[in-house]
Amino acid sequence: MLHWLKYPFIRFTPAYIAGILIAVRLHQDLWISVILIGVVALLYIVLLTAGKKQFFSLNPVVGFVALSLICLFSMARTFLFQQNHSEFHFSNYPMERYTGTIDSWPEQTKNFQKVVIEVTETGTPKEWKRAFGRVLLYVPASDTSIRYGTKLIITTPPASVEPPGNPKEFDYRMYLANRNIFHRQFLRREDYLVIGQSEPNRIIALANHIRNFGVTAITEKITNTDHQSIAKALLLGVRGDMSDELMQAYAHAGVIHILAISGLHLGILYGFMLLIFRKYRKTTWFVLLTVVILWSYATIAGLSPSVTRAALMFSIFSIGQYFYRTPNIFNTIAFSAFVLLIINPMQLFNVGFQLSYLAVIGIVWLHPSINSLFASKYKVFEKIWSLTSVGIAAQILTFPLVLHYFHNYPLLFFISNLIVVPAAGIILVGGLAFLISSFVGIGLLSGILATGLGFLIGFMNRSVLFIENIPGSYIKDIHLPQHQVVMLYLFITGILVFLYVKNFKWLFFAVTVWVIFILSIVFDQVSKSSRHWIVVYDVPGVTVIDIIDAFHLASYTIAADAADYEKVPYHTGNFRLATAGMGSVQSFPIKKTQISGAKIFSSGRIVFLIISKSPDRGFVSEQPFGVDYIIISNNAVKDFSYLQKLFTFKKVIFDSSNDYYYLRQAVKELDRSGLKYHNVRENGAFIIDADRNNKVPFF
């Protein structure tokens, strides 16, 4: 029987998580939480008093009220964490310019540096006011003055981050909101002025300097660019230089986790320290040294949720061993999550946070049982099986979320982990020795270590690419919606509990959930088979039109720049996968018309006309040609009265290849004339049922 008093955070953390979910869902006012906290706290005190008088047993009631109090505290904390709720947030002031300090390490892209600026003041021509908030800035890549702590005056106001323009598209607005960023801005060199340098946090500044030194050392000593990118990611948590092909190979092989500094890396570091100082692990200086080294490395790596969680857990273990106690692992995991979510409640919605905790729970819970399934008198086979069983245990609890977020799954992860994890351990230890020797200035040793690191990373890369190219090494294009993710976790829970308690009620529960899961898949396939939709997407600078007919997908895509075609999968991929499955995307036939720049296509009962060039005014027609919808691209139509002379139509659709200034003028003209229109840049993708001529709800 579980003695709850010994493991309080196994109860506290779920209650705290429930509060975060309620707060985000309801968007409740702070005062509601404060009043409820007061009422529940008063009730808690009354119940404790009544319990002491032993009128009746109130322990379950008192416990429920206490957990409710934690839940309400979590709701209040979540509300307070979201800076846009504050009256002092810069968005609540008149704003033509603002000042702030860069609070992040610049992230390089092709044309820009991405940085986050902490706003300190907002201004108008008349006055400046103190304010706060965070803005994501895109600064020209050529500006070398931009770094952590740079103070700027920015002469134009930022814009709110827009919601996704297409259904099922990645919600970048929500991603930034979880980091307390609600505005972003693209800057030209003349839009801002550097006015000074003041590092907001000296510890973070020192960590950034060390990371910069490490990046420079790796770049100078390791010549191969792919080897450089892996070394930077594995040792320093810097992943911006990695090619898409290499990143995809590691994902398909099931070892992408080694490129994000997490519990694996800190576990290797902690294990290496135990190996060296085995006799002193219960001494005060070893505990202090362990905590300092773990948190120093975590800070240099950027304090991501996964590395922070691991540093906190290993610190607790080290301190617990010093006091001759072995903390309960599940309570420790819950405690670390509780602390991190108090600091930042929105970490709960971070994919890395979710996967790292599920992986750790799976390893701790399931690894002993899985590992006991195989035994050998040869230690090498025992070690291989132990490492394999760790991967299997982690995958059991993470695979539903992996399918949901990434739509593919590595089937040979157990093979790639046998190769990559030991190699990563050697690279990590050798890489830290390389960085230290480079910092101290021992050139010969750092050169030898750099050569060895390059050889090992090359071997690891070749192994990963080889595994990726094995036929059937991974499955892709999987659509698993949220309700099916929940069903899979209920099924897994039922099976695991049945195996532990041997109660057939849990097996019946698991089978029931599995049947419902299969029925939901069948229902989803049946609903797909009856779809006949036409979609005009919102893809900046590109005309993208899909015809989705059951499980078949045909597309018409035109872009002025070849690089713009690379945007299309990002904006359309999830919706295509959810509605038709990816498969192969074919082009549908479009017919030219007598009017230059106008093409026509039809699907079901609907006729579309695409106008990509200004209509020839020399064309004369006895009567207007009837179509259902006109799609305008590339700022093609300037005179809509002339368009009405050529065609009769229900609605004009402006696709995303039209620029902002053209759309502003075109919309004004259509409003004056009373014509109906849909602007996908402002209103999102246009989706219509080709058989019924009804607009499909945006979902």
Report the CATH number that the domain containing residue 170 is assigned in CATH. Answer: 2.40.50
- Give a yes or no: residue 361 inside a domain: yes
Packed helices 202-221 and 413-440: angle between N→C axes, nearest 10 degrees: 100
The answer to whether the beta carbons of residues 456 and 427 sit under 8 Å apart is yes
Contact 307, 298 (CB under 8 A): yes
Q: Cβ of 151: how many Cβ atoms within 10 Å? A: 16
* Residue 279 and residue 192 in one domain: no
Domain assignment present for residue 522? The answer is yes
Using an 8 Å Cβ cutoff, are 72 and 36 in contact? yes
Nearest to 319 by CA among 354, 341, 292: 292
Question: Distance between CA 75 and CA 329 in Å, rounded?
Answer: 27
Q: Are 461 and 372 contained in the same domain?
A: yes
**Pair (363, 504) in one structural domain:** no
What's 349's DSSP letter?
A: G
> How many helices (H) and strands (E) are present in the chain, helices listed first?
21, 25
Identify which of 482, 461, 530, 17 has the alpha carbon closest to the alpha carbon of residue 242.
461
- The Cα 34–Cα 41 span in angstroms is 10
> In the prediction, which pLDDT does 56 show?
43
Residues 510 and 447 both lie in one domain: no
Q: Tell me if 149 sits within 8 A of 200, measured CB to CB.
A: yes
What average pLDDT does the segment 109-114 reach? 82
Q: Is 178 helix (H, G, I), strand (E, B) or coil?
A: coil
Looking at 466, 495, 526, the residue that finishes a domain is 526
**The pLDDT of residue 601:** 85
Please tell me the predicted confidence (pLDDT) of residue 536.
92
CB atoms within 10 A of CB 550: 14
Instruction: Please report whether residue 95 resides in a domain.
Output: yes
How many structural domains does the chain have?
A: 5
In a domain, 265, yes or no: yes
The answer on pLDDT for 51 being more than 80 is no
Radius of gyration of the chain (CA): 29
Q: Which residue has the higher pLDDT, 560 or 501?
A: 501
Per the listing, tokens 């505990």 go with 287
Whether 443 has a pLDDT exceeding 50, the answer reads yes
* 560/413 same-domain check: no
- pLDDT single digits (tens) 579-633: 887 666 777 778 877 777 788 888 878 888 898 887 766 656 667 778 889 999 9
Across the range 630-648, mean pLDDT stands at 84
Work out the pLDDT band at 513, boundaries 50, 70, 90: very high
Integer Cα distance of 577 and 573 in angstroms: 6
CA distance 448 to 454: 10
Same domain as 240, residue 337: yes
Higher pLDDT among residues 26 and 537, named by residue: 537
Please tell me whether residues 18 and 162 are part of one structural domain: no
User: Residue with structure tokens 């695991």?
Assistant: 496
522-550 average pLDDT score: 88
Q: How far is it, in rounded angstroms, from Cα 225 to Cα 241?
A: 8
Note whether 75 and 103 are same-domain residues: no
User: Pick from 33, 57, 81: which residue ends a domain?
Assistant: 81
Considering only CA atoms, which of 536, 682, 671 is closest in space to residue 609? 536
Between CA 375 and CA 551 the distance in angstroms is 48
pLDDT at 55: 41
The verdict on residue 438 lying in a domain is yes
Residue 205 lies in a domain: no
pLDDT above 70 as % of the chain: 90
- Residue pair 110/141 in contact by the 8 Å Cβ criterion: yes
522 and 558 housed in the same domain? no
Residues 231 and 306 grouped into a single domain: yes
Residue 206: inside a domain, yes or no? no
* Residues spanned by the domain of 496: 482-526
Q: Supply the pLDDT for residue 696.
A: 64
Residues 6+ apart with CB under 8 A from 443: none
Model confidence band, residue 427 (pLDDT cutoffs 50, 70, 90): confident
Domain boundary among 200, 232, 264: 200
Q: Which of 569, 540, 542, 572 is nearest to 557 (CA)?
A: 542
183 alpha-carbon distance from chain centroid: 18
| 372 lies in the same domain as 515 | no
In sequence order, which residues have a C-beta less than 8 Å from that of residue 424 and are 6 or more positions away? Answer: 234, 258, 264, 265, 268, 460
Domain identity same for 609 and 678: yes
- Give a yes or no: residue 61 inside a domain: yes
